[in-house]
Structure 1
Amino acid sequence: MKTRYKTLILAAFFTGLTAVGAFIRIPLPFVPITLQVLMVLLSGLLLSPRAALLSQAAYVLLGLSGVPVFAGGGGISYTLSPTFGYLMGQIPAAWVISRIVNRGEVAFKKIFLAAMAGISIMYLLGVTVLFLNLNYVAGKPTDLAQVLHIGVYPFIFPDLLKAAAAALLTLKIRRVSKGPL
C-alpha cells in the first residue's frame, strides 16, 4: 500500500478509536475515567509522527465541527469548556510520543516514558486552559494548586495504568507487525 494512503487510513482508524474511547467509561469512586487517553497514547506509540498527529487533529476538528465525538458532546462552544486544553494537548502529545518511540531501540521503559511525556503535554495544556477558564471565563478565582487538585491529581494513577497498558500493548503489536504500523 502506498505510504500516503496507509498514513491516511491508519490516522482515520485511530481518529475513530479515540472517539470510541471517549465513550468507554470506567466508573471509579471519585473520578470516572474513559479510554480516550489510552487511544491517544496508542496512536503515538504505534503510528508515524505524521499519522499520529493527523489522527488527533482530525478527532479534535471533528468534535469542534459539531460531531459529538467528545465525552461531553461536540461543537465550537467546546473551546470554552474547562477541558478543552486536554483535548488540544492530544495533538502535540501523539506527535511527541511517536517521535520518541520511533527512534532507536524499542523497550518497555522507553515506550512507557514516551507515553508519560505525552500525558505530561496533555496535563500542561489542560491545566493551562483550565486555569484560564476558571479564572477568566467562569469568573471563579482559582490558584494553580487548586487547578492541579482538580485537573491532575485525581488522574495521575489511572493515567500511569493507561501508560503501562499502552506500553505492553505496543510491545505485543510491534512484535507482530515488525515495527510501527
Structure 2
Amino acid sequence: MLDSTATIQNTAPPVAAFTRTEDRLAYLRWLAETDKKLVPFVQDATMRKEIAQTIWYEARRASLDLGLVLGSTEALSGFRKYAVAPNGAMGYMAVNPAWVSKIGNGDVSTLMHLQTNFRFGCVLLRHYLDESKGNVYTAVTKYVENNLGLAPGNPQVAAVVNNTFAAQARWAYVEQAK
C-alpha cells in the first residue's frame, strides 16, 4: 500500500543522484531538451524544471518510459496542475480521487501536489502495464477509463489514448552520440 505522506511533506522536487558522470550529463541533456518542449505549456522556468525533474524521478521509479509519462500528462491535463475532469480526476495526470483512499492517506487535496500527483499517476500506469502484461495500449486505455470514469468503448477514451501516443512520439528523447 502506498502512503504518500512523506511525499507530501517534501515540497521540493526530487533530486536525481548519479554514480557516473556520463549518466548525470545524459540527464542534464534530457532536462534541457524537455525544458524547451515544455515552454508552450508552462511559462515559468522554475515550474518547468520542477515538472521535468519530478517526471524523470517518478517515471524511473516506476520503470516507465519518460515519453509515455510526458505524453500522458499532455493528453490528460495539458500540464495543468489544477486540471479537474468531469468525474473529479485531478491534476497533471488526472488521478481519480478514489485512489487516495485506496492507496494513499485519504486527503484528496494532495493530488494537487506536483510530486504526489505524478507518483500516483506513475504507480497506476505501472499497475495497468503489469496487469496487461506489458501491452502499453491496453494499459493506457485502462488508465484513461478508470481515472476519467469512462465506460469501455466510449469514443472519448480512444481520443485520449490516441492523443497520448501522438504526444509520446513528440516527447521521445534520443540521446545523440557524442
> Fold-level match, TM-score > 0.5?
no
The structure carrying a bigger helix percent of its residues is: 1
Higher RCO (C-alpha under 8 Å, 6+ residues apart): 2
